[in-house]
A and B are shown apart, each in its own frame.
Chain A
Amino acid sequence: EVLLVESGGGLVQPGGSLRLSCAASGFTFSTYAMYWVRQAPGKGLEYVSALSSTGGSTYYANSVKGRFTISRDNSKNTLYLQMGSLRAEDMAVYYCAKDRMGYCSSASCYPADALDIWGQGTMVTVSS
């Protein structure tokens, strides 16, 4: 079974930091680009960041650029999101998601498709 399981959410003060993890299983993690998408309470979906299969290419929403860092450890089948300088508007459920197919060169696979597998999400609360 293809599965993504997020962890690491919790309560953090404004200006604080948090690292989210996403453990993947059931597919060859190292050959797929991956995403983080968030959803504030009662709101719609918002793209946060994406990463190529090797981790060499990263993509960020303007709202998190310079504050968040996406990374992966293919030996551990795990995706990460390091979040810093957290603000109230960062409070949301954070989902990791797998790129369906992507664009692959000899070097890497790049995010270029829909998101076909999603985790159950982890809640990040930013409050003093």
Chain B
Amino acid sequence: EIVMTQSPATLSVSPGERATLSCRASQSVSSNLAWYQQKPGQAPRLLIYGASTRATGIPARLSGSGSGTEFTLTISSLQSEDFAVYYCQQYNNWPRTFGQGTKVEI
């Protein structure tokens, strides 16, 4: 099973600042990596697939990069609606696996 490790566990930032979230895979997942956002009491929402392609309706201030085992989600200027928990997920191998999440807080 591929282990996905996210860092940091919690990121404290101010509105307007840049946030950088990391995700590391225990073995290569090529570019088969997705990022999801989840707010309290809500279902996850797809942000990024293919490591760097924004999903429909996702603003350009969110960007993904990386391949192989190292991936990054960057939020260039944090807005109030961006404070949430973010998960990475690999879909290169079975079983599919998620990272443990990074909470972005004010």
In the complex, per-residue mask of A29-73: 1 if CB is within 8 Å of any chain B CB, else 0: 000000101000000111100100000000111100000000000
Which of B34, B46, B55, B101 has a CB less than 8 Å from the CB of A44? B101
Tell me if B43 and A59 are in contact (CB < 8 A).
Answer: no
Residues of A near B45 (CB, < 8 A) are: 118
Q: Is B7 an interface residue (CB 8 A)?
A: no
Binding site of B, secondary structure by majority: helix, strand, loop or mixed?
A: loop
Contact, CB under 8 Å: A59 / B95:
yes
* Distance, CA A50 to CA B40, complexed state (A): 25
Indicate whether A80 reaches chain B with its CB closer than 8 angstroms: no
| Docked pose: A95 CA to B43 CA in angstroms | 8
Contact (Cβ within 8 A) A44 B95:
no
User: Contact mask B1-42 → A, CB, 8 Å, 1/0?
Assistant: 100000000000000000000000000000000101010001
Once the chains are docked, how many angstroms separate the CA of A120 from the CA of B46?
Answer: 14
Count A-side interface residues using an 8 Å CB cutoff: 23
**Does B43 contact A120, Cβ atoms closer than 8 Å?**
yes
Who on chain B is nearest to A93 by CB? B43
Known A100-B49, A114-B49; judge A45-B87 contact (CB<8 A).
yes
A-to-B contact residues, CB < 8 Å: 35, 37, 44-47, 50, 59-62, 95, 100, 111-116, 118-121
Q: List 17 A-B contacts (CB under 8 A).
A: A37-B44, A44-B98, A45-B89, A46-B98, A47-B95, A60-B95, A100-B46, A113-B49, A114-B34, A114-B89, A115-B34, A115-B36, A115-B46, A116-B49, A116-B56, A119-B43, A120-B43
**Given A47-B98, A114-B91: 7 more A-B contacts, CB < 8 Å:** A44-B99, A61-B95, A95-B43, A114-B46, A115-B89, A116-B56, A120-B43
